[in-house]
């Protein structure tokens, strides 16, 4: 899956694999060029905006490809991708490629949805590893495939302590 961002980080192009991924993952409104012109940072969680802003600045400054592995699982499938940000113009246009590294069915889970709903009715979901925070002490983050369903409206985006420390150390609270 590939796409091109202009120097303002607006989507300028997306390939057929983007369209297919959007349709298969409950986002058909983003397929067929409908996302063209949308700013990447406007759809990025607040906790990750500084990180990705720095990535694009670094790629422009160093004129080198940046890469990172990330998880983008669905309720049915565990998926891990490799994202690469390629500089394509000196003025800051980028080609982003996302290659699948792992795709398999989730292991069976005995976790119950209710175990993750906090007193405010929210489920905290890590924006990086997609783990859910248990509502009752002790604090624990578990991978719960059913909490990845895009129809769940009470999701609160967060970063688990491990992802915050390891992947986004500039975002320590």
The total number of structural domains in the chain stands at 2
Q: Are strands 11-14 and 66-71 parallel, antiparallel or unpaired?
A: unpaired
Query: What per-residue confidence (pLDDT) applies to 8?
Result: 96
Mind listing the pLDDT tens digit of every residue in the chain (173 residues)?
999 999 999 999 999 999 998 888 878 888 888 899 999 998 888 888 988 999 999 999 999 999 999 888 888 888 999 999 999 988 889 999 999 999 998 877 666 656 899 899 999 999 888 899 998 888 899 888 888 887 888 899 899 999 888 888 765 44
Q: Are strands 123-126 and 155-158 parallel, antiparallel or unpaired?
A: parallel
* Structural domain harbouring 35: 2-105
Query: What per-residue confidence (pLDDT) applies to 123?
Result: 93
Query: What per-residue confidence (pLDDT) applies to 25?
Result: 80
Q: Tell whether 80 and 127 lie within a shared domain.
A: no
Query: What per-residue confidence (pLDDT) applies to 110?
Result: 62
Which residue has tokens 């694009």? Answer: 56
Q: Tell whether 74 and 94 lie within a shared domain.
A: yes
pTM: 0.73
Distances (CA, A) of 71 to 38, 100, 173: 23, 10, 23
How deeply is 93 buried, as exposed, middle or buried, from its count of CB atoms within 10 A (0-12, 13-18, 19+)?
middle
Query: What per-residue confidence (pLDDT) applies to 60?
Result: 94
Q: Tell whether 68 and 33 lie within a shared domain.
A: yes
Query: What per-residue confidence (pLDDT) applies to 56?
Result: 96
CATH number for the domain including 38?
Answer: 3.30.450.20
């Amino acid at each position: 899956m590939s796409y091109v961002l202009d120097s303002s980080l607006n989507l300028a192009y997306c390939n057929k694999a983007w369209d297919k991924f959007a349709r298969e993952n409950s986002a058909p409104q983003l397929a067929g060029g409908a996302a063209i012109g949308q700013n990447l940072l406007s759809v990025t969680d607040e906790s990750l905006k500084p990180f990705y802003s720095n990535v694009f600045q670094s790629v422009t400054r160093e004129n080198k490809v940046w890469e990172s592995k990330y998880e983008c699982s669905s309720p049915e499938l565990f998926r891990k991708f490799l994202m690469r940000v390629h500089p394509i113009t000196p003025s800051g246009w980028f080609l982003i490629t996302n290659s699948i590294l792992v795709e398999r069915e989730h292991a069976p889970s005995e976790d119950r949805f209710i175990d993750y709903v906090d007193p405010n009715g929210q489920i905290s979901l890590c924006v990086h590893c997609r783990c859910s925070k248990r509502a009752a002490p002790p604090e624990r983050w578990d991978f719960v495939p059913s909490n990845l369903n895009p129809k769940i409206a009470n999701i609160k985006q967060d970063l688990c302590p491990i992802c915050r420390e390891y992947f986004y150390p500039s975002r320590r609270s």
